[in-house]
């Protein structure tokens, strides 16, 4: 059986996709610059399960529908809170994020 000849890798096929290092640097740089520009960071807020309420006071003994009302549960969520960065902190994050983006650009340009 004859095998087709193996093709050597060409620079055009090697540079079609970004390398893993470039992608990580782009993501890291974008996050740092976004935090510096907007001064906000994500914060996780845990959810609550639905709980049954019990009646209080004079209504407790009557057993009406108010005594067995339920609180609805709250789903977990992520919200933005202030990062409380100083001007120097914002400058530092902007510098580091921008540098990471520049390095990613040149790594991608060189084909690594």
CB 35 within 8 A of CB 80: no
Rounded to two decimals, the pTM is 0.61
Do both 75 and 93 map to the same domain? no
Q: At residue 108, what are phi and psi to the nearest 5 degrees?
A: -70, -35
Return d(Cα 21, Cα 25) in angstroms, integer.
Answer: 6
How many domains in the chain? 2
Q: Flag whether 52 is in a domain.
A: yes
The pLDDT tens digits of the residues spanning 40-96 come to: 999 998 888 877 665 555 555 555 555 555 667 888 899 999 999 999 999 999 999
Whether residue 90 is contained in a domain is answered as: yes
The boundaries of the domain holding residue 48 are: 43-82
Distance, in Å, from the CA atom of 102 to the CA atom of 11, rounded to the nearest integer, reads 22
- If asked whether residues 30 and 53 sit together in one domain, one would say no
One domain, residues 31 and 61: no
Question: Do 93 and 32 meet the contact criterion of CB atoms below 8 Å apart?
Answer: yes
> 61 with 78, same domain?
yes
Q: Is residue 30 part of a domain?
A: yes
């Amino acid at each position: 059986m004859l095998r087709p000849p193996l093709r050597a890798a060409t620079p055009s096929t090697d540079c079609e996709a970004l390398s893993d290092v470039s992608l990580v640097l782009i993501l890291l740089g974008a996050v740092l610059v976004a935090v510096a520009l907007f001064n906000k960071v994500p914060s996780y807020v845990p959810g609550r399960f639905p709980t049954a309420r019990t009646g209080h006071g004079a209504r407790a003994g009557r057993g009406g529908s108010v005594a067995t009302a339920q609180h609805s549960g709250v789903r977990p969520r992520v919200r933005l809170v202030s990062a409380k960065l100083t001007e120097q902190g914002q400058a530092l994050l902007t510098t580091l994020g921008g540098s990471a983006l520049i390095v990613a650009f040149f790594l991608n340009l060189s084909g690594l």
